[in-house]
Structure formats: C-alpha cells, structure tokens
Amino acid sequence: MALLVVTSLLALSSIASAWEAPSYSGYRKVWQDTFGGNAGSSPNGNNWEIREGDLGVNNELQVYTRSSRNLQLSGGSTLQLVPWRDSSKPKGWTSGRIESKYTFTPENGKITRVEAAIMFGESPTGNKQGIWPAYWMLGASIRNGVDWPRCGEIDILETVNGILTGHGTVHCDVYPGGICNEGTGIGSSIGIPNQGWHTWRVEIDRRSSNFRDQSINWYMDGQRFHQVTGARIGNSEVWASLAQRPLFFILNVAVGGNWPGYPNGNTHDGYGSRMEVGYVAHYVT
C-alpha cells in the first residue's frame, strides 16, 4: 500500500509540474500561487501565513502546525495539507492551514473570479469520517477586530466525511439567525465525480451599480451550482461585507467538529486523507 501511494504521488507530481493557473478570454490574471518549490518545503511566506495551534472553533480536534508532516509543497507544483493522528496533542490530531497575506476587493463594474484546482487523497471515501477539507475566504475586516459572521465569509468548497458532495456557502450578518440564517449560512451543493482534480470557482459580479442586481456564483469544473444575489441578502451593508470589501483566501483540513462529527476507528489519517492544491488564482474582467 505504501509503495502504491508513493507511486501515485510521484505520478501526480509529474503531471502537475507544468501547471499554471489557466488564462481565460476576457479575464486578466491578477494574482496566483502555483506552489512551486522543493518537496517538503513550506509555501511562499510572501503569499501565505501558516496558522498554528488550536483555533478553538467548531469543536474541531486538530492542532494546526507548520511541520512539513502537515503542510508542504510536493515538489511537483502542488500544496499538500495532511491530517495526522497524534496522541501527544490534547485532542489527538494535527493538520495544516494557511491564510493568504494577499487580499483583494471585488472591483466595481466588473466580474471578479477566484479559483483553485483541488484533489483529495486516495483513501476510500468510507474511511474519511470526520475529515473536513475547505477552500474559502473571509472578509479581511476580521483581522481588524470585526467579529464573525459580520466580517463576511464565502466558502468556495467544503466537503465532509469523504462524501463526494461539494458545498458552497455564504455566512454573514449576525449569529445566531440573521440574514444568513447562522450558523447554517446560505448554501447549495453539487456532486463531485471522483476524488481527482477538479476546478472550484467563485465569481463576484459587480457589473450593476445596484447592489440588488449583483451576485456571487459558485462553479465546479465550469458548472454553476449556487448563486446568492444582493436582492436575496436585501441589506447593502451586509452585501458589502461579502462582495464589496477586501477578502483573503484560506486553505485547510479540519478534523471533527459540529458539522462532520468525529473520526472513528475506520478513519484514515495521513496522505490518503489529504487535500492537494494545484494553484489558487484571482482574475478580473
């Protein structure tokens, strides 16, 4: 089994080594990270902050570390975030999380596109109870003391428990309840064909000067599966927290918590339960 996993990883690395975030007609690529670097090294510190410790959210189990065991470049132009059992930690797990130092504001009068190529580890889906990978954004105001969910949150992709369903969600306003029905949020989902590489995208459409006609749209491999409009939010200040103010990216693999529940004896740790990322990019029309 170990040889099979290593061979698979080497094959993926060779495929991904030529990757760059794609170019799209009508869009200008503003920023990207394609995770180039030596195998086992950390992601670019100019682009990313590595989070450490128990963040104390959602009743999750993991302690985040900067160890290459949890967070590393593959050497094949990908980033790997890997959860591990660790009996030396209070809740028994470690994992990886990075947050972008790069922030951006969706531009007035334009469409802002953000996307990433993501795959999941080869462990069977039935052996991922409690594993919770995510690619998402928070309003940068949270770094200046604005509380959650008032800062705004856009979840581009979340999956739980190995189930091949991708979830896209916004969180906003107040907790509990409020415009975004916290702590549930406003979400939708799409079936994922397999655990291999897929492209996950959000487009924030600010072409209209009327916030009610603006929208946030979610896509997997170019297929739209969710939309939230300014009219649905119905409050210009709350809409601004989602679509008109600075945002930053987060990539992480959580373990356990209120939504997925907790790992069991069949849950695989390690590379078989990893999230791997080929690139993250920001575009604008």
Amino acid at 85: R
Phi-psi region of 24 (alpha: psi -120 to 50; beta: other; left: phi over 0): beta
Q: Is the pLDDT of residue 1 over 60?
A: no
* H/E segment holding residue 238: helix 236-243
**Residue 284 contacts residue 30 (beta carbons within 8 Å):** yes
Q: Report the percent of the chain where pLDDT is more than 90.
A: 93
Band (11; pLDDT cuts 50, 70, 90): very low
**Residue 156 contacts residue 200 (beta carbons within 8 Å):** yes
**Residue 99 contacts residue 64 (beta carbons within 8 Å):** no
Q: Is the pLDDT of residue 3 over 80?
A: no
Band (16; pLDDT cuts 50, 70, 90): very low
Instruction: Determine the Cα–Cα distance for residues 207 and 218; give it in Å rounded to an integer.
Output: 17
pLDDT digits (tens, 9 = 90+) for 192-226: 999 999 999 999 999 999 999 999 999 999 999 99
- pLDDT (mean) for 175-179: 98
| Residue of 118, 95, 103, 97 whose CA lies nearest to 47 | 103
Q: Is the pLDDT of residue 89 over 50?
A: yes
Q: What is the pLDDT of residue 7?
A: 35
pLDDT digits (tens, 9 = 90+) for 237-280: 999 999 999 999 999 999 999 999 999 999 999 999 999 999 99
Q: What is the pLDDT of residue 19?
A: 74
Peptide linkage before 176 cis (omega within 30 of 0): yes
Band (9; pLDDT cuts 50, 70, 90): very low
Count Cβ atoms below 10 Å from residue 158 Cβ, excluding itself: 20
Mean pLDDT of the chain: 94
Q: Is the pLDDT of residue 8 over 60?
A: no
Q: What is the pLDDT of residue 31?
A: 98
pLDDT digits (tens, 9 = 90+) for 27-38: 999 999 999 999
Q: Is the pLDDT of residue 71 over 90?
A: yes
Structural domains for the chain: 2-284 (2.60.120.200)
Reduced to 3 states (helix: H, G, I; strand: E, B; else coil), residue 35 is: coil
Q: What is the pLDDT of residue 45?
A: 97
| Residue of 102, 56, 45, 39 whose CA lies nearest to 247 | 102
- pLDDT (mean) for 148-159: 98
Q: Is the pLDDT of residue 14 over 80?
A: no
Phi-psi region of 258 (alpha: psi -120 to 50; beta: other; left: phi over 0): alpha
Phi-psi region of 15 (alpha: psi -120 to 50; beta: other; left: phi over 0): alpha
**Residue 114 contacts residue 136 (beta carbons within 8 Å):** no
Q: What is the pLDDT of residue 260?
A: 98
